[in-house]
Copies of this chain bind each other. A is one copy, B any other.
Amino acid sequence: MAFTDRSLPAREAILDAARARFAADGYDRATVRAIAADAGIDPSMVMRYFGSKRQLFARTAEFDLRLPDLTAAPRQEIGHALATHLLDRWEDDNGLQILLRTATTDDDAAERMRSIFAGQLAPQIAALTGDRASAATRAGLVATQALGVALCRYVLRLPPVVAMSRAEVVAWIAPTIQRYLVGKPPDGGRVDTGP
């Protein structure tokens, strides 16, 4: 019971509708019936093609930061480069919005979020600083600022954060990202796990 090319448009319509609904409403409030209606297809087909709502969600919640090689940029500009890249990345891919909207109440989605920053960002920082021990902490700090911007701008839609242009946002947060990436740890803010 493999699927043929004939049903491919239907499967893609379901995926598109699911991505839009999950990004807008989150996992719980996005119903299979609503997704199917948006796709112009019967709800039972969603189950046949994707097995279950959870499996459908898992398919739509795949997200890759697609980080560029940060060591290639000038050392003083990597904060700006990363900030720009991240904003670009989640303005043309709603995968992070899908994840963010449901990760606050669903542990599977939260776990994906954790693995993204631990698995994709932290190694890049380790390569950047040569300090593997501090990379995880620095990646976590970058996550607080990056996810905070995403949350306020695209999910909560705080008016002043929405009103800023992308260039303004980048200009403001780039120094923060820069410091978290390669800046000197502040007094009382040690970055390794030693005594």
Contacts and interface: CB of A to CB of B under 8 A. Distances in A.
Interface of A: 25-26, 28-29, 100-105, 110, 113-114, 117-118, 136-137, 139-141, 143-149, 151-153, 155-161, 163-164, 167-168, 170-176, 179-180, 185-190, 193
Nearest to A190: B168
Contacts of A170: 188
A104 B148 CA distance: 12
Copies per complex? 2
Main secondary structure of the interface of A (DSSP, over half): helix
A159 B118 contact: yes
Contacts of A185: 171-172
A164 B73 CA distance: 29
A110 B157 contact: yes
A188 B173 CA distance: 12
A176 B153 CA distance: 18
Nearest to A173: B144
A128 to B, nearest CB: 16
A168 B188 contact: yes
A175 B185 CA distance: 11
Contacts of A25: 105
Contacts of A101: 104-105
Residue from A104, A113, A159 whose CB has the most chain B CB atoms within 10 Å: A104
B28 A29 contact: yes
B186 A104 contact: no
A121 to B, nearest CB: 11
Given A113-B156, A167-B188, A172 B103 contact: no
Given A26-B104, A146-B148, A171-B189, 8 more contacts: A25-B105, A104-B156, A110-B156, A114-B156, A140-B160, A140-B161, A151-B151, A171-B186
